[in-house]
Structure 1
C-alpha cells in the first residue's frame, strides 16, 4: 500500500519533495497547503491528484505522513498538531530557531510516539553512507579533522529569492540553511561537536542575516572542524566538506559529489548519477518509508537535528 502524504509549505523545497513523492511508488500525495494562494498553481501541476486544502489542519487530517517545508517559525505548531493526530512527521531543517522551543518540539514528538525524522538531505545518500563506512572501517586512517568551506556571490541565491525570509537574521542565513547540513554530516563521522569559538559578521542593516562565518568546533577527542563561509564577489557557488584522515580524505561537494584523495588530486571513486539531487531525494524517501514502518533507517532524528541547531545558534551569536 502507498503512504498518503501531505505537504505544508509549497516553496522550492516543498515543491521538490512533492514532485519526488509523486514519482515514488511508495507515496500518494493527497493534500497540500500554503498560506500563499499563488503557490498552489505550481504545486497542482506537479501532483494533480493532491487536494488543495483550506487549512493546514485539513491537510494533516488527510494524510499518513506530513512533510513540513514551511519556514522555521511555525514548524513546531504544525509538527505537534500532526503528531497529536497520530501522523508521521517529516520536517525540513533547521528544526527551529529558538532552542527552548525546539527542545519542547523534540519532547512532544517523543511523547506522541509517532515516527519522526528531519530532512538533512545527505542522511540516506550514497556519499554519507560510503564515507561513514570507510571511516569506521579504518580506511581513512586516523581521523584528524574536517573542513567546511561555503562561498556565494549573493545570499539568498537566485533560485531561493522567493523565500524572502532566508535573507533575514531571525530565521534565515547560510549557517542555518547550508552549513547545518555539513555539521550533521560531520557529527555522523566524528560524533557530537561543541563550539570552541565562532565569529559571524553581519551587515550594517541589523535585521539581515550573516555575510561571513569563521568557526572552530571540536569533538570529544579534540578533533577540529574548521568553518570558513562568506558572501560576496563574482564567483560560482562553493559548498564542500572534507573529512581528513592520515591515509585518505574524502571531499563532498554540493552535498552529493564524493571524491577521494590519498595525498594527490581528489578523484571520484564512482560514477556520478545522472540526477544527483533526484537520487538523494529518492534515498531519503526510501528511508522515510522505513521510518514510518518503525524500522532501522538512516534519516536524521529530531535529537540529531536539535544538536545541530544548538551548534548553529551558538555560532550565530554576535561577539562583542
Structure 2
C-alpha cells in the first residue's frame, strides 16, 4: 500500500494530480473533498476507491498526506489543520496572496515538524537539476543574468477557464500562476532576489488581474533578472526562461524543453519525454516520498515559496 492521501480541491490541478497519484505505486488516495459537487463527481471517477467526504476535516483525518489544490485563500486553514493532526502537507502554489498570513503559515508549519512542500513543478525536473549542476560546476562560465518572457493570447488560458478565480486580481493572474515558477527556478540557480522596479498594467475593471508586467530583479551581487510578460494578440503561448553564462547559456521553454547555446543556435540537450506532464509529476511525486521519509529531496520548501510570494506581491503592487 502507498501513502494514504487526501486531495482537497478537485479542480484542474486537483484532478490532474489525482490522476497521476493513481498511476504511482507510492500513493493510495483514500479521501476527496471539494465544495463543488460536480468537481467531486468528476474526481471520484478518477479514484473510484476513494471516499468523497462530507468536509475537509474528514478528508484530513482519513489520510497521512494531504494535498491541497484549492485556491490560495482557504489553503492556510486546511494546511494548519493537517499539520496540527500530524499529517504531511503538499501545497499548490502560490503559497498565498497575503504576505503576513503566509509568514505565519510557514512559521507554524516549521514549528509543527511535519513534512511540508510546495508544488513548483520544475523542482524535481531534469532541467532545473541539470542547469543547477552545470552552473555550480562552472560549465556555464560566469553567470550574467536571466531573461524571462511570457506571452499569452488570453488569460486564463483555454484549459484554465473553469478555474474562474484565475482571472481576478484578488488571487489570480499570470504572475502568481506562471511567473512564480520561473522566479523559483531563478532563485535556485542565482540565489535570493530583490525587486528593483516593476510596472504591472491592469484592465479598467479593478477586479481583473494584470495583463502586462515589466520588471527588473537583481541578486545581491547585482546580476539582473529581466521580465517581460503580456496577454493579448493572435499568438501561441510562449514561456521562455534563459539562464545566461559567459561560456554557455541554457534556455527552458514550456517548463521542460532544455536547450544549450555556446553562442550559436540553442540545441536541445536531451530527448523530449513522450508525456512531459507525466514525467514532471512523477518526478515531483518521487521526491515527495523522499520528503515524507525524511530524506534529501528537491521539492520547494514553504520558506522558498514564501520568498517567491514576496517577489510576486511586490511586483503586482508596484
TM-score by length of 2: 0.99
Per-residue deviation, residues 143-191 of structure 1 (Å, max 9, x unmatched): 0000000000000011101111000000000000000000000000000
| CA-CA distance at 1:44 after TM superposition | 1.3
Mapped to 1, the partners of 2:105 and 2:172 lie a distance apart of: 20
Q: Which residue of 2 aligns with 1:42?
A: 42
The reply on whether 1:63 has 2:63 as its aligned counterpart is: yes
Q: Which residue of 1 aligns with 2:135?
A: 135
Where in structure 2 are the equivalents of 1:4-23 lying within 5 Å? Answer: 4-23=4-23
| CA-CA distance at 1:41 after TM superposition | 2.1
Contact 1:73 1:97 in 2 (8 A): yes
Mapped to 1, the partners of 2:277 and 2:223 lie a distance apart of: 30
Q: Which residue of 2 aligns with 1:72?
A: 72
Mapped to 1, the partners of 2:221 and 2:275 lie a distance apart of: 38
Q: Which residue of 2 aligns with 1:220?
A: 220
Mapped to 2, the partners of 1:76 and 1:298 lie a distance apart of: 23
Q: Which residue of 1 aligns with 2:260?
A: 260
Mapped to 2, the partners of 1:315 and 1:125 lie a distance apart of: 27
Give the number of equivalent residue pairs: 318
Q: Which residue of 1 aligns with 2:241?
A: 241
> Matched residue of 1:60: which SS?
helix
Q: Which residue of 2 aligns with 1:183?
A: 183
| CA-CA distance at 1:52 after TM superposition | 0.5
Listed as ranges, the gaps of 5+ residues in structure 1 are none
Mapped to 2, the partners of 1:249 and 1:41 lie a distance apart of: 47
> Matched residue of 1:74: which SS?
helix
| CA-CA distance at 1:79 after TM superposition | 0.2
Q: Which residue of 2 aligns with 1:120?
A: 120
> Matched residue of 1:151: which SS?
strand
| CA-CA distance at 1:277 after TM superposition | 1.0
| CA-CA distance at 1:13 after TM superposition | 0.4
Q: Which residue of 1 aligns with 2:301?
A: 301
> Matched residue of 1:49: which SS?
coil
Mapped to 1, the partners of 2:251 and 2:67 lie a distance apart of: 30
> Matched residue of 1:104: which SS?
helix
Contact 1:256 1:277 in 2 (8 A): no
Mapped to 2, the partners of 1:156 and 1:141 lie a distance apart of: 38
Per-residue deviation, residues 202-227 of structure 1 (Å, max 9, x unmatched): 00001100000000000011000000
Contact 1:94 1:309 in 2 (8 A): yes
Q: Which residue of 2 aligns with 1:271?
A: 271
Which aligned segments of 4 or more residues in structure 1 are displaced greater than 6 angstroms?
none
| CA-CA distance at 1:40 after TM superposition | 1.5
Q: Which residue of 2 aligns with 1:31?
A: 31
Per-residue deviation, residues 66-85 of structure 1 (Å, max 9, x unmatched): 00000000000000000000
Mapped to 2, the partners of 1:139 and 1:42 lie a distance apart of: 47
> Matched residue of 1:316: which SS?
helix
